Amino acid sequence: MAVEVKEFLPITQRHEDLGLSDELVLQMYYHLLLSRRLDERCWILQRQGRVPFHISGIAHEGIGVGAAYALRRGFDIVHPYYRDLALSIALGMRPIEFMLALFGKKGDPHSAARQLPSHFSLRHLNIISGSSPVATQVPQAAGIALAEVLKQKLRPFLEAAGFPVSQEMRVVLTTTGEGSTSEGDFHEALNWAGIYRLPLVVLVHNNQYAISVPVWKQMAVPRVADRAAAYGVHGIVCDGSNVLEVYRVVREAVDRARAGEGTTLVEAVTYRWTPHSSDDDDRTYRTREEVERGKRHDPLPRFRDYLYRRSLLTQRLEEELEEQVQAEVDEAQRLAEEMPYPDPEEALASVFATEDRSGWWGQS
């Protein structure tokens, strides 16, 4: 049975109604475009045999960029998953920082070249390392959010001991796929989130497939967001290929969380028209016709169409941005290729910490 795919729909929101300036929406477009071109390059590099593996965020850029702009970047904390190339780019990751991980080169800031690429981890952007077993980050994100609650509750004791607490809570954003919502981790996390009204946003990228398994084999309820009711948290569905709608919905969730009104489970719907990873062959489980229809979920032409209609993008500007982005990707690739591999013995480093560097204290 083919997954039902919606028709191409023009974006109907107006960015100014959402409090976004012209400049910001153009920046969003730039981040969307940069993520896409970087991702496409990774596929090429993998198919050329120059890198071993790529797991893609194509079709997910609307979700990532929309969510990133809804956060207080550099203050809020993000515990992402492997489709979050665009989220990371929009939070400030540079293409070289991704390319170093892709090639497994020295200086990879995510994992010192231990993890597979797309396991994002950048301390200076408050992006926390994730693993490959899915949904494990969701209850951890609940713990990070619980710590935000504890900071507020215990402020005088903490500050007296030299641990300054920010005036407002940091909101924790965690992301995961719709398949991962079947995991026990997901359930336990939302249960905690509901009980303690945690400042947490759980953003589920519903790309309609968990590798080969379609969403209707994953759950009996029609929507991931329906599950929110069982935990006493807010639940909402949005169109993941509409970057402005994602921004609006996640922004509301973030504001609610910061105000102490608890967690929101956001389901952002898209369609993954790439294979699961460079090791997957999606022709074994779905038709090419379905995949072609799925490309109507592409957030890039929808946003481009919107920006043209609003006279923010011209053909000339579009070409300039394309050139700029291509140059950035070229440069990142060149630098990563030139970079040496880690010394073999670096495999032995950092098993145990000798000093504590945990936590987000104070305002920064």
Partner 1 sequence: MPEKTLIEAIREAIDEEMARDPRVFVVGEDVGPRGGVFRATMGLWQKYGEWRVIDSPLAELSIVAIGIGAALNGFRPICEIQFADFIHPAFNQIVNEAARFFYRSGGVYNVPMVIRSPYGGGISGGLYHSQSVEAFFAHVPGLKVVIPSNPYDAKGLLKAAIRDPNPVLFFEPKKGYRLIKGEVPDGDYIVPIGPAKVTREGSDLTVFAYGMMHYYVLQAAEMVAKEGIDVEVVDLRTLAPVDKATILSSIKKTGKALIVYEDNLTLGYGAEVAAILAEEGFEYLDGPVMRLGGPDVPGVPFSPPMQDFFMPNPQKIAEAIRRLARY
Query: Which tokens in the block code for residue 69?
Result: 């702009």
Q: Tell me the number of residues near partner 1 by CB under 8 A.
A: 57
Between residues 1 and 160, which has the closer beta carbon with respect to partner 1? Answer: 160
Quick check: 102 binds partner 1 (CB under 8 A)? no
Task: Give the DSSP per-residue string, 197-218.
Answer: T-SEEEEEEE-SEETTEEGGGT
User: Cβ contacts of residue 200 below 8 Å, gap of 6+?
Assistant: 141, 142, 145, 171, 172, 173, 174, 193, 257, 263, 264
Decide if residue 310 touches partner 1 (CB under 8 A).
no
Out of 2, 6, 14, 131, the residue judged to bind partner 1 by CB under 8 A: 131
Q: Which of 41, 110, 248, 297 binds partner 1 (CB under 8 A)?
A: 110
Window 245 to 284, contacts with partner 1 (CB under 8 A): none
Tell whether residue 106 is a contact of partner 1 (CB under 8 A): no
Q: Is 354 in the site for partner 1 (CB under 8 A)?
A: yes
Residues 165-194 that bind partner 1 (CB under 8 A): 184-185, 188-189, 191-192
109 touching partner 1, by CB under 8 A: yes
Strands (E), the chain: 77-79, 172-177, 200-206, 209-210, 213-214, 234-239, 264-269
How far apart are alpha carbons 23 and 211 in whole angstroms?
Answer: 37
Give Cα separations from 97 to 57, 89, 324 (angstroms). 16, 10, 17
Mark out the alpha helices in 225-360 (DSSP H runs).
228-231, 243-258, 288-294, 299-309, 315-338
Query: Binding residue for partner 1 (CB under 8 A) from 26, 158, 211, 335?
Result: 158
Per-residue binding string, partner 1, 204-223, x by CB under 8 A, is --------------------
Residues forming contacts to partner 1 in the complex (CB under 8 A) are 77, 108-115, 119, 121, 123, 128-129, 131, 133, 136, 139-151, 153-154, 157-158, 160-161, 163, 184-185, 188-189, 191-192, 195, 349-361
